[in-house]
A and B are shown apart, each in its own frame.
Chain A
Amino acid sequence: MYQALFFLFAASAVGFAINLLIQRHPIHSALSLIGVMGSLASLYLMLGAEFLAVVQVIVYAGAVMVLFVFVIMLLNADKEEPSDRSKMAKYLGLPLLFLLLAMITVVIYRQFPEDAMVQFGDFPGQTAAIGRLLFRDFLLPFEVISILILIAIIGAIVLAKKEP
């Protein structure tokens, strides 16, 4: 059951990601990214991270993607025409990609022998545990991230707002 669900959602995440890559119109790419986010939220849920799954849907699939879709509407961005790619990328790209994947595979298998199991435990009271960590141990990062948000908002408005 768990394995089947994992492969279902992992396959749908990778499928949506590949669709993101091959779509020509930015709005289709943005919608594919929402599919990836949804699949990953399901995987978070299966790992016992209920709060994070909800945050993923609310912040990522909600707010961030709304921002992307608004900007695509704003710029009225059309399909992109493929440029004439460089010859080197055409012939060397795929072999080098597989070389990279093979290298990462070797490293992963060297680091993690077979018997390491994910104990998808349901820690009871997860949100409370996150809160305890956030408001006691990670107090300074928590306050700093509010400044990060403030700077991001002000910077984005200064960049985007029309000069009178």
Chain B
Amino acid sequence: MPNYYIQSYIPILMLLAVVILLAVGMLVASYLLGQHRPTREKLTAYECGITPTGDARHRFSVKFYLVAMLFILFDVEVIFLYPWAVIFKELGIFGFVEMLLFLVIVLAGFAYLWKKGALDWTKADSGGL
């Protein structure tokens, strides 16, 4: 049983444990040690020091959805590019052509998004859906 594979990830596991302990410990310590004298001012949402206007629960622009779309597009592209890059030399010119074909098809989606205005963020928009 090749246990050394698991053992090579033990530092990451330790990091995970330390991070969780640290986060929980800080919250618990501040809850136990700190003084609690809440006032109305202290309980308002922190907005860089100015008085908050309205609340955060309004509808966001559909532009965010287009940006998330771009994110998915390039994410999918990169997970196929990575194994391709690893064996690039042994695939040779054939692998280069097939990846080029893949990229052309995927980037057609990018061109469509671009044309639909996913990239011009400042264009006047009434907001909402």
Contact = CB atoms under 8 A, between A and B. Distances in A.
Contact of A62 (B61, B69, B75, B84): B75
A102 interface: no
A128 B69 contact: no
B83 interface: yes
A71 to B, nearest CB: 7
A70 B113 CA distance: 17
A133 to B, nearest CB: 9
A contact patch SS = helix
A161 B112 CA distance: 12
Give the contact-size bracket for chain B.
Answer: 35 or more
Nearest to A1: B6
Interface of B: 1-3, 5-6, 9, 13, 57-62, 64-69, 71-73, 75-76, 78-80, 82-84, 86-87, 90-91, 95, 98-99, 101-102, 105-106, 108-109, 112-113, 116, 118, 129
16 contacts: A51-B82, A58-B79, A62-B71, A62-B75, A63-B75, A73-B59, A73-B64, A74-B60, A76-B57, A135-B99, A153-B113, A157-B116, A160-B62, A161-B62, A161-B66, A162-B129
